[in-house]
Amino acid sequence: MPVMVQGICHRGLILPRASPVGPMRGYNRRLSSPTESSLPMYTLARQLLFKLSPETSHDLSLDLIGAGGRLGLNGLLCKAPAKMPVTVMGLEFPNPVGLAAGLDKNGAAIDGFAQLGFGFVEIGTITPRPQPGNPKPRIFRLPEAEAIINRMGFNNLGVDHLLARVAAAKYKGVLGINIGKNFDTPVERAVDDYLICLDKVYAHASYVTVNVSSPNTPGLRSLQFGDSLKQLLADLATRRAELALRHGKHVPLAIKIAPDMTDEETVQVAQALIETGMDAVIATNTTLSRVGVEGMEHGDEAGGLSGAPVREKSTHTVKVLAAELAGRLPIIAVGGITEGKHAAEKIAAGASLVQLYSGFIYKGPALIRESVDAIAALR
Ligand SMILES: Cc1cc2nc3c(=O)[nH]c(=O)nc-3n(C[C@H](O)[C@H](O)[C@H](O)COP(=O)(O)O)c2cc1C
């Protein structure tokens, strides 16, 4: 990496006991201050890893986390987060803080990430066939903004390889598998790729995320709008019904969206998700905006911007979704969480779960516990 409640489940979402109806969902309004920013050990590791190119340090970190996981050592790296069980999408999570997609695209270090204390792990984005992604360099650090710009382009080893990694993992917790389309599949045929991946991962995933929001696959984001979105979701819903019968289990489908839509477009997405019976929405992916990084080294690189600069946009998207969904579908919030209090802000905005990516790169595993504590303080 350096790249670069206790509640009652009702239609898949947390309804804390005796909670008032409203965006706070029973958490009280006190936002905790950060308990710790990062462990000294991680600060040292980060100093060393940040001397390498972002992608080299990403690959090395993934190897180390994977090796630590196989040896069962990662739990020693940081104090385990407090237990904070939540039920969302009908699934039980030990805590509401998960690993966001893209860090472990091939499922290489599932046990390692789980041992760091994540309440759930999302792997992918995976495509039907392996593909190399965009030419390097394609990840850029902007440390003064606690940000990353990436244009990886779904580099991955393909869905079959990912499934072999899932089979080899010991992890029995909540595993999300994030699916996408191959670069060379025309966008009009994108649904074929999503269905191939859905068929293959269905039996092995706790939930499946449909990624229609990466800015690095040309045309992909067009699937978030109008009839394209409705058709895609309807096709996925039909296939899911068949798979549910075949496998005897209902695997929730979550749709991951961009932070760059207008409020009206976000509302339309929310309506389409309800109409087609989707189970959750993940908000958000990276942004095309460069607000907050103008004039910085790498600030004008092409790709998606993540980390602190996307925080407000992402949280705004969560608020718009929460107002429209009114509790009918849970929201998984991701984007710009670099301190525990930002995780709590996402929950206060209407999310039921959060995920970390860039903040984890900059702050290390201590951010997981800090986020859990800050969310717990909302109760
Ligand atoms: C290097 C990099 C690669 C990513 N790859 C993926 C991906 O393959 N699939 C996906 O859904 N999101 C991907 N993301 C987006 C993250 O999952 C997350 O939605 C986004 O970075 C915002 O969260 P953050 O500000 O905490 O990083 C990637 C992000 C980064 C920085």
Give 62-71 pLDDT, tens digit per residue: 999 999 999 9
Q: Which residues line ligand 1 (CB under 6 A)?
A: 3-4, 100-102, 105, 125, 139, 148, 150, 152, 178, 211, 214, 256, 285-286, 306-307, 310, 334-337, 356-359
Beta pairing partners, 120: 98, 174
pLDDT digit string, tens, across residues 209-221: 999 999 999 999 9
Instruction: Tell me the mean pLDDT in the region 315-343.
Output: 98
Contact indicator for 209, 124 with CB cutoff of 8 Å: yes
Active-site amino acid positions: 214
Please give the helix or strand (H or E) that residue 325 lies within, else none.
Answer: helix 311-325
Residue 39: what pLDDT? 62
Give distance in angstroms: CA of 304 to centre of ligand 1. Answer: 8
78 pLDDT band, cuts 50/70/90, is confident
Amino acid at 282: I
- Residue count of the chain: 379
CATH architecture of 7-18+27-376: Alpha-Beta Barrel (3.20)
CA distances (Å), origin 308, targets 43, 148, 169, 264, 321 = 19, 9, 32, 24, 21
Q: How far apart are CA 160 and CA 239, in angstroms?
A: 19
Tokens of 115: 């041992």
Confidence of residue 6 (pLDDT cuts 50, 70, 90): very low
How far apart are alpha carbons 356 and 366 in whole angstroms?
12
Note the pLDDT of residue 44. 86
| Minimum CA distance residue for ligand 1 atom 6 | 102
Q: What is the rounded radius of gyration, in angstroms, for the C-alpha atoms of the chain?
A: 19
Comparing 77 with 156, which gets the higher pLDDT? 156
Confidence band of 245 (pLDDT split at 50, 70, 90): very high
Name which of 11-15, 317-321, 322-326 the model is least confident about: 11-15
Q: Which of 11-15, 235-239, 311-315 has the least mean pLDDT? A: 11-15
Among protein residues, the one with the nearest Cα to ligand 1's atom 1 is 150
Percent share of the chain, pLDDT over 90: 86
* Ligand 1 centroid – CA 102 distance (Å): 5
Report how far residue 45's alpha carbon sits from residue 64's, in angstroms, rounded to the nearest whole number. 11
In degrees and rounded to multiples of 5, residue 67 shows phi and psi of -65, -45
pLDDT digits (tens, 9 = 90+) for 250-272: 999 999 999 999 999 999 999 99
* 334 CA to centre of ligand 1 in angstroms: 9
Both tokens of 181, joined, read 């389309």
Rounded to the nearest whole angstrom, what is the distance from the C-alpha of residue 356 to the centroid of ligand 1? 9
Give CA–CA dist 170/70, Å, rounded: 9
Would you kindly state where each structural domain of the chain is located, as residue ranges? Answer: 7-18+27-376
Burial 335-344 (b: 16+ CB within 10 A, else e): bbbbbbbbbb
pLDDT greater than 70 at residue 23: no
Question: What average pLDDT does the segment 90-97 reach?
Answer: 98
- Atom 21 of ligand 1: nearest residue by CA position: 306
3-state SS, residue 193: helix
Q: Which atom from ligand 1 is nearest to the alpha carbon of 58?
A: 1
In the reported structure, the alpha carbon of residue 41 is separated from the centroid of ligand 1 by a whole-number distance in angstroms of 25
Contact 3, 139 (CB under 8 A): yes
Distance between CA atoms of residues 31 and 110, nearest Å: 31
Considering the chain, what is the average pLDDT of its residues?
90
Burial tier of 237 (Cβ tally within 10 Å: 0-12, 13-18, 19+): middle
Residues 252, 12: contact at Cβ < 8 Å?
A: yes
| β partners of residue 156 | 131
**Residue 168: CB partners within 8 Å, gap ≥ 6?**
none
Helix (H) or strand (E) holding 366: helix 366-376
For a ligand 1 pocket test, name from 138, 149, 260, 285 the mutation site with the most ligand atoms within 8 angstroms of its C-beta. 285
Confidence bin at 122 (pLDDT 50/70/90): very high
